[in-house]
Amino acid sequence: MGKDFRSSAFALVIDVGAPVGGYYLLRAFGVVPVWALVLSGLPPALRVLYTAVTRRRVDGMGLFVLAIVAVSVVTTLLTGDARLLLVRNAWFSSLAGVWLLASLVVGRRPVTYEAARALLPGKGAQLDDAWEQRSSFRRLWRVLAVVWGVGGLLHSGVSIAMAYTLPIDDVPALDTVVSIAFFVLLQVVTQVLLVREGSMRAVIRRPAPVR
């Protein structure tokens, strides 16, 4: 297995598996819900800090994760309300959804396009050429910004509804399942739209320009 795969698998375990597994492990030892949520929510933040120390830099997403964890923990400790911690994923989804939709009117290109460009650093010139030359390509990324933005807001609404209507101990596992389901659904929609538009296949196959 490659280094990138191992890094991604490790991040998935820490960001998804550790909070859920840690919560139920702590609850099995009698830790009250609010402290189980606080402690089980620390691994993702610690991973961001570890990455910042080892790479000597913190990206915008890392700072965003740390801010969400810090605000949710402080607010919950001040109020003693465990349900405020249950909606921290909803905070992330809400802000991400608003950010995606706002990028349609603020800035030159939608966040979805910029994300694709960041994930394909060797294809930047080809992507930019396709953006300049094909209206269908530009429309594709704007549609995807709407799809992911609305999807993020819908996920946020579902998470908040579960947090405030279901028993606390039911929510961490169920919210994780719902989050994964939303992500998979949005990925499927994305891939279908990419295939139908067709430009990305040509971009991937086209060699990078010689400098």
Cβ atoms of 41 and 76 within 8 Å: the answer is: no
Q: How far apart are CA 191 and CA 184, in angstroms?
A: 11
What pLDDT was estimated at residue 75? 75
What pLDDT was estimated at residue 151? 96
What pLDDT was estimated at residue 58? 61
| Contacting residues for 109 by C-beta, under 8 A, at least 6 apart | 103, 131, 141
pTM: predicted TM-score of the whole model, two decimal places: 0.82
Q: What residue has token string 């949710």?
A: 72
Q: How far apart are CA 158 and CA 51, in angstroms?
A: 31
| Contacting residues for 12 by C-beta, under 8 A, at least 6 apart | none
What pLDDT was estimated at residue 1? 45
Cβ atoms of 170 and 10 within 8 Å: the answer is: no
Q: How far apart are CA 142 and CA 194, in angstroms?
A: 12
Residues of the chain with pLDDT under 50: 1
Domain spans of the chain?
A: 1-86, 87-211
Phi, psi of 40 (to 5 degrees): -75, -20
